[in-house]
Structure 1
C-alpha cells in the first residue's frame, strides 16, 4: 500500500503554496520607521550646496532651482498649502547691500494638527545664500542648506507622526539680505499671529566636530530651557544653551530668521553651531560639513519639536505669564 505517499504527494503543493505565501509576507514586511531618512537628508544637503545652484542668492537662477527642488519635495511629502501654491512672493530692499529684490520667494507648507488645528508652531530655515563673488561660488552648505534639509526632514516626520498642533514649515528667502523673508512673513502672516505659539529656527546645523549644538533663546524665554534640556538629555549630541544675551561674546538674538518672530513677542528657539572658518566663505561646501553630526542634529531637533508639540499648552501658559524682553 502506498497511500501515505499518495497523501503526501497531494499535500505537497498545498505546503509549497503556504511556504511561498509566508515568504512573500516576509518580503513585503515594511522596514521599521526611522525618524531621519539618512540618504534623503544628505542628498538634500548635497544638492542644495552644489556648484550647480551657484550659491542660491536671492533672484538668481540658482536660487530659483533651489525653490523648485524644495517645492517638489513639499509636493512629494503631501504637505498642505495656504491658498493654491507653496510660493509666497515678496519684494525686499536689503539694508546691507542696498539692493532691490523683486519677487523673492518664501515656500510655505503645513501639517494640520489632530487636536488643535488652529494653533501653530512655525519651523523655519532660510535656503538663500551669498551667490557668486569675484568668480567664486559661495555654496552655503552649512549656511544654510543644512537647515533647509533639516526643515524638510522635520516635515517628512510629521507627515508620518501626526502632531497635536498644526506645524507650518517655511523655507525662507533673503535671509542674507537682512532677514527679508522672515520680516515679510511676520508682517504678512498666513495665519493670525496670535495663533502662532512659537518659532523653531534652524540655521547652520552641520559643521561642528565637537559634537555641540546650541539652543538659543532661553534667556528671553526661560520656561523653554527645562523643556529642551529634558528633551535632549539622552540625545547623541551635546545641546548647549547661550549666545542670547550680552553675557556672551556674541548675541544671536536677532542674527537669523527667529529675530523677527522675537520682535513680535513670539517665543523662539534657534538651533545652530558656533561660527567656524568656513562661515560666509567659498569653503562652506558639502565636503566640509560633518555628515554624522548633521544627521544626529536633525534627529535631535525633530525630537525637541515632538516634545514641544505635546507640551504646547505649557508654552502658551508660560508665555501669557511673562513679558518677553524687547528685541534690540
Structure 2
C-alpha cells in the first residue's frame, strides 16, 4: 500500500486540512492568518517543537468589496473579475473604451498574461485589465513599477480571448469598471520557524507558505504544503532525520514573497552558507501532474533524479515536468537570488489557484500523504550541492 492509498494517512491529511482552512482566508495581516499561526504553533508544541515567530511587516492593502467589469458594447456581458494585489480604486463606476496593450509579465515573467487599458473620452486611464494565461480569473500581485493609483482587474483567459477577438474585428469595445481596493496602513503577520536537530551532518531548510489570497481559504494553495510540513514535524519528533532541518512556515508568499524575502534579508552570510539547500513544498493539488524545479543546474538534475527514484516505486502514474532556470513565483526564489541552492515541487492545480472553491478534497489529501515520505526521501538522499554564484540579470 502506498501512502496516497493508505486510508489512515489520507484521513489525517484531510482532517488537518479541514481544521486549518476553517480559519478562513489567511491573507497577510488579517485575523485569519493570525488564527492559523496560533493553530500551527499549538500543534507543533503538542509534539514538543518550540516555535520561533518572526514578524513580517509590509505595506498594507485591502481588496475592497466591489470588483466589476461590465461590457456594454459590442455585447452586454459581465466578466468575472478580481482586483490585483496593490490595485487602486476607480472611485466609483467608470465607463471607457478598451485597447489591447500587449503581454503582461508577472512574477518575473514566470507567467505572461494579456493586458488591456481602459480609457475615457479624454484619454485618461481608468483601469487596466489583465487576462490570465490559463484558467478563470485569479488575482495576482502586480509587478514592481505598476501604477498603484489606478485600478487593475484580473479576468479569465477565455474572456481575454473574447476581448482580443472583438478588437481584432475592429469593433468598439465599451466597458464599465469599478473597484474599491487600495492601500491601507502596514500589515503584519509571522513566519513560523522550527529547528529539528539531526542525528548526523548536514543542514536543510524545508519550507511552505501558509498564507492564502484574500478570496480563498486556500486548501491547495497552500494549506496542503503547510499540512505536509506539519506531518513531517510530527514524524521527526519521533524519529529525527540525519541532517538537521529548519522548518519554516512562511507568511506573505502571495505578497511578492514578503515572508521569505524578509527571512533572507535578515539572515547573516554565515546563516545562509550553513544551509545545504532549500526545499519548498508549494500547492499539492489533485491529480498526478507535478512540477519540480531547482537551481543551480547540477542540483536541479540531482533533485529530479531523487524524486523519480522515489516515484518509480510508489507513483508510476506521476507526470513530472521540470524547468531550468526555475520560475520566480514562490519562496525558494528568495534563497536562489542569494546564492543558496533551492528547489520546489507542486502538484499543479491551475483551476483551483486563487479561487473561492479551493477547498479540501480527498485528491489533495492523497497527495499530501504521498509527499510526506517523498520529502523524507529527498532529505535523506540529496547531498549538499556545490554553490554557484547568485543569478545575474541574464
Offset of 1:110 from its aligned partner? 1.2
Question: How high is the TM-score relative to the length of structure 1?
Answer: 0.72
Does the 8 Å CA contact 2:224/2:364 hold for their aligned counterparts?
no
Cα distance in 1 for partners of 2:36, 2:296 equals 34
Does the 8 Å CA contact 1:265/1:324 hold for their aligned counterparts?
yes
Q: Does 1:272 align with 2:244?
A: no
Distance 1:61 1:289, change over 3 A: farther
Partner of 1:240: 320
Cα distance in 2 for partners of 1:272, 1:100 equals 33
Please give the residue correspondences for 1:55-70 in structure 2 after superposition, counting only pairs within 5 Å.
55-70=25-40
Distance 1:240 1:229, change over 3 A: same
Please give the residue correspondences for 1:78-93 in structure 2 after superposition, counting only pairs within 5 Å.
78-81=48-51, 86-93=52-59
Partner of 2:214: 131
Distance 1:212 1:70, change over 3 A: same
Partner of 1:113: 198
Offset of 1:187 from its aligned partner? 1.2
Partner of 2:21: 49
Q: Does 1:140 align with 2:225?
A: no
Deviations 1:117-174 (A, max 9, x none): xx42011111111134xxxxx1111000001001111112222222222100011101
Distance 1:307 1:156, change over 3 A: farther
Partner of 1:104: 189
Structure 2 unaligned residues grouped into runs of 5+: 1-5, 62-84, 87-182
Superposed CA RMSD: 2.7
User: For this pair of structures, how many residues does the alignment match?
Assistant: 265
Cα distance in 2 for partners of 1:184, 1:99 equals 20
Partner of 2:43: 73
Please give the residue correspondences for 1:276-315 in structure 2 after superposition, counting only pairs within 5 Å.
276-287=350-361, 289-308=363-382, 312=383, 315=384
Cα distance in 2 for partners of 1:49, 1:287 equals 12
- Aligned mate of 1:214, from 288, 291, 296: 291
Does the 8 Å CA contact 1:106/1:171 hold for their aligned counterparts?
yes
Distance 1:147 1:290, change over 3 A: closer
Deviations 1:193-224 (A, max 9, x none): 1101111101111x222x23222115733343
Specify which structure has the higher proportion of helix: 1
Structure 1 unaligned residues grouped into runs of 5+: 1-33, 133-137, 246-251
Cα distance in 2 for partners of 1:266, 1:175 equals 18
Cα distance in 1 for partners of 2:189, 2:367 equals 31
Cα distance in 1 for partners of 2:372, 2:393 equals 28
- Aligned mate of 2:283, from 177, 182, 204: 204
Stretch moving more, 121-130 or 236-245? 236-245
Partner of 2:309: 230
Cα distance in 2 for partners of 1:275, 1:291 equals 13
Tell me which structure has the larger Cα radius of gyration.
1
Distance 1:324 1:224, change over 3 A: farther
Distance 1:296 1:125, change over 3 A: same
Cα distance in 2 for partners of 1:180, 1:45 equals 24
Partner of 1:170: 248
Please give the residue correspondences for 1:146-161 in structure 2 after superposition, counting only pairs within 5 Å.
146-161=224-239
| Structure 1 segments of 4+ aligned residues over 6 angstroms from their partners | none
Offset of 1:59 from its aligned partner? 1.4
Question: How high is the TM-score relative to the length of structure 2?
Answer: 0.61
Cα distance in 2 for partners of 1:259, 1:79 equals 27
Partner of 1:40: 12
Does the 8 Å CA contact 1:172/1:182 hold for their aligned counterparts?
yes
Distance 1:234 1:170, change over 3 A: same
Specify which structure has the higher proportion of strand: 2
